[in-house]
Structures are given as C-alpha cells and as structure tokens.
Amino acid sequence: MRYDKKVIKKELAIILSNKFIKKILILTIFIIMAFPATALALEFDRPDNRIIIDNTNVNMNFEVDSGSRYLPIRQVCEYLGATVNWSEESLVSIEYGEEVYYPEFFITNGKSYASESCIGDIFGIEFQYNEQLNVLTINTDGTEYEFADILSSMPTYNGYSQEDLKWMAQIIHAESNGEPYAGKLAVGNVIINRMALPQYPDSIKGVIFDRKCGVQFTPTANGSIYNTPSVDSYMAAVEVLEGKMNAEGALFFFNPKYAKSTWVSRNRQFAFSLSNHAFYY
C-alpha cells in the first residue's frame, strides 16, 4: 500500500487542529466553572443619594464630602422657586424673594453644589435625613416626614409595604451580614424568586417563615432574624423591592463552610458562587 505524503500531512494537521480546539473548549469550560459570575460583585453599587421634596421623588441626588451633605444648587433652588445665575466673576447667585445670595460652592460632574445648611437657611426650611434608606427629604410646609411617606415616594416601589421592607431587610441582614453588597442583593432576590412560584407563600414574611418542608432559613430558627438590620441591609432591601435582580431564578443558597445539610447541592442545579455563598436553582 502506498501512502500519499500530502494526504497524511493534511490529515495530521486536521487531527492536531481538532485536539487544539478540544483543549480550548475544555479550558473555557473550566474557567467558567471555576470562576462563575465573578462580575456580579462589581456590577452593583449602593443606592443613589436621593432627594425627595414635598413627597415627590424629584430625580435629584446629593453629594457627600467629609460627612457633610451638599445639594445641586440649580436643580434644588429652581425647583423651590428661586432664580440661579452665574456672575461675570464666576460666582453663583441665588435670587429668592427680594434677596440675592452668594453661597460657597464646589463643582463636580458639571454641577455646582452648596451645603445642606446653606440651602436650608436661604429658604427657611429644615432637611431630614433617613440613614436606613439613604434619602434626604424636604417638606416646604415644615411638616416632618414619616417613614411610610418616604417609602411612598421611592421610585417604582411597586406597592410593597413597610412590613415587607422590614422583613426583607431583616432576612438579608441575618443571612448576609458581612457579605458584599451584591451578596445582600442576591439573598433578597431568592426571596422574590420564591414568591413568584406557586409552591411557595406569596408574601415576603410567608416565604421567610415557610415551614412546609422544614425550616427554610436558619435565622428563623436561631432567632437572628429579629436582629436590627444594618444600613447596607436596608438599602439592599429597598433595591430588591424596586426590582434590582442579580440572582435571577435562584431559589437556594448556603455557605459551604458551615452548611450541615447537603440536600441542596445534591438535588438542585448550581447557579453561581458569590463571596461565601453558593446559589442554586
């Protein structure tokens, strides 16, 4: 039998090429499995520094510097009925009533900002700051905001109640205190994902305390569900209730270092790992 060297060389090249492709595919799969959803921890930030005026979410945000809050001068002052101008000397002037004010200010991202106290003095109003929701509120008639008032002004809040927020913040804190912010969001997403399915209760509290197939969340058994949530946990709860999703479809999570049961890992499909938690569908 005669062998054609050109044919052998061509076939050998095909074989080598296929082996190379196979190695690339195996390496790619290994990387995906070894480092699942690594971008999740970088994608989500804390909620914006929101401003609410007279029960209205006005799509304005304050800045924080050295622990003090600063408001966007033109946006806030014009909303409150003043006229804002720039002078030839590059000074900001605020005309309100029969007075003209020249506040100290700084510029960032193309906007000028003045301190909360400065704006308050000009308009004779006081600001309220809610640390749990990271919201600065202004009522021009002088009345104080109630917690429920702030919630009703939050964007796309979808009708969740104050009790819903309370339980969501408490389960997030109990299950993920010390986890990165993205991890807190993911824990809250699991509660939302369960609510959407008929085999689970249709309320946040109901999902958290569900015992139909045994204790679903350890904090409800050891009492840590009743601990006071951190600010970050409240913020994550607000965003979850507003629809922020970074664990779509996930129904289970646990910390592999401390989990005593292996039922989830044996019976459910792995989704991704995020910090100390493994999430499953």
Type of residue at 66: S
Please give the pLDDT value at position 47. Answer: 61
Question: How much is the pLDDT for 267?
Answer: 93
Q: Which residues sit opposite 277 in a β-bridge?
A: 274
Give the chain's radius of gyration (CA, Å): 27
User: What pLDDT is attached to residue 22?
Assistant: 43
Q: Quick: pLDDT tens for 18-62.
A: 554 344 333 333 333 343 333 333 334 456 788 999 988 788 999
- Taking every pair of Cα atoms in the chain, the longest distance, rounded to a whole number of angstroms, is 108
Q: What is the pLDDT of residues 118-134, one digit of tens each?
A: 999 999 999 999 887 78
Name the residue with tokens 């999430």: 279
**Helix crossing, 231-241 with 181-195: angle to 10°?**
40
pLDDT beneath 70: ranges in the chain: 1-47, 151-152, 154-159
CATH for 157-280 is: 1.10.10.2520
What pLDDT is stored for residue 249 in this prediction? Answer: 94
Strand 277-280 relative to strand 270-274, pairing: antiparallel
Q: What share of the chain is helix, strand, coil (3-state, %, to 5)?
A: 40, 20, 40
3-state secondary structure of 106: strand
Q: How far apart are CA 165 and CA 142, in angstroms?
A: 27
Please state the domain extents for the chain: 50-153, 157-280
State the pLDDT at residue 34: 40
Q: What is the DSSP pairing of strand 83-86 with strand 92-96?
A: antiparallel
- Alpha carbon distance 251, 199 (integer Å): 12
Please report, for residues 35, 43, 272, the alpha-carbon distance to residue 38 in angstroms, rounded to integers and kept in the order given.
6, 10, 9
